[in-house]
Amino acid sequence: MKYLQKITVILIAFAFLGLNAQEKKIKFYKGTLKICSSKNFQIEGYDGDEVIIKNLHEKKGENSVYVVNGFRNNGTYSYSNSSKNKLARVGKAQSISSSSSDSIVKGRLVFRSNNSERKKGLKKLGTKSNNSDLGIYFTIEQNGDELLFKDQSQVGFIMTSNESYLVKIPNTLKLNWKTNNCKDRDRSGEYRFFSSKNPSSLSNFDGETEISSSVNNIKLKDVTGPVVVNTIGGNVTVEFEKKYPKNLYSIYSNNGFIDMQIPNKSSLMVDVIGKSVYSDVDFKVLEEEEVNDVWQKTTKMKLKFGVGKTKMKLNAGFGEVFLRKK
């Protein structure tokens, strides 16, 4: 009996994983993948001709409603909670279920109806791709040699979520990834941020990479370059396991740290700026300068490893830089 129960549990688990591991495949291997989204992405390069998207989170229910508008309360955004009739926790959207067969609008909340039966056999019309049935909650658009991912929501408050995606991309593409929705500010003048427990990441990618981020940590693994990373308030970690940097690496992390592995096969000329620079690598120090700023001192160094074939620029501002052996 216990054996049958274990088998049943395993089968249910596989069924659940199957439902939540649906993929969207897009034939696209030449051009630029442009990401204008604050969501969490785990991006992996591979030798193929399709962009493959898989959600890593639980899909939203058909009858769930999510607050998309707030009102100002002493300079912050707050949200109504009809069940408790008091202000909800600032910074997080509330999810409320409704069993009604028709949509209800009450105050600032919209209760979605469950129309799953009505949708059977029908497809949503429109030029923009809608993939909520796959657990994908961002817009996908393809225009010529550009494939665009962008956030659907136009809200201006800071929000957190467990929403996360695995995206496999061909190594022949160029990646242009901006976590602030490609705008510094939205029309309401409020900053747009997204927070997740895990850092967004890019791994095993040989194409050209440009990343711009705000308050997001970035992890790169086995990314050969060329790479340009510009982040405000985020940390950047670079690891190499099977590859090494072959093209320009330029990383600017304003007040965040930069932590990079230096493989033995590397041949680098490194310009580095940071509060302090730490390393166990046998660099040759070509230049060293200490700069007095209004708040504190920063260190500027020019380092050489091997014959110095590949150029690397690392700037952590007032953050620290860690260069370690692989």
Q: Which of 174, 163, 196, 208 is nearest to 53 (CA)?
A: 163
- The first and second tokens of residue 215, run together, are 């308050």
Query: Which bin fits 8, alpha (ψ -120 to 50), beta or left (φ > 0)?
Result: alpha
Question: Distance between CA 136 and CA 25 in Å, rounded?
Answer: 12
**CB proximity list for 214: less than 8 A, separation 6 or greater:** 179, 180, 191, 193, 231, 232, 233, 234
Question: Distance between CA 112 and CA 110 in Å, rounded?
Answer: 6
Question: Distance between CA 299 and CA 272 in Å, rounded?
Answer: 8
Q: Which of 142, 139, 205, 201 is nearest to 174 (CA)?
A: 205
Per-residue pLDDT of the chain (326 residues; tens, 9 = 90+): 555 555 544 444 444 444 445 789 999 999 999 999 888 899 999 999 999 999 988 776 544 444 333 333 344 333 333 333 333 333 333 433 344 444 444 444 444 556 667 777 776 665 555 687 788 888 999 999 999 999 876 554 445 567 889 999 999 999 999 987 676 554 444 444 444 557 799 999 999 999 998 877 899 999 999 999 999 878 999 999 999 999 999 999 988 899 999 999 899 999 999 999 999 999 999 999 988 877 778 899 999 999 999 999 999 988 999 999 98
Question: Distance between CA 201 and CA 219 in Å, rounded?
Answer: 5
- Full DSSP string of 163-188: -EEEEEEETTSEEEEETTTT-SS-TT
Residue with tokens 């690392």: 314
Question: Distance between CA 81 and CA 71 in Å, rounded?
Answer: 13
Number of neighbouring beta carbons within 10 Å of residue 30: 10
Question: Distance between CA 75 and CA 78 in Å, rounded?
Answer: 10
**CB proximity list for 244: less than 8 A, separation 6 or greater:** 224, 263, 265, 266
Q: How confident is the model at residue 144, as a pLDDT?
A: 92
Q: How confident is the model at residue 318, as a pLDDT?
A: 86
Query: Which bin fits 85, alpha (ψ -120 to 50), beta or left (φ > 0)?
Result: left
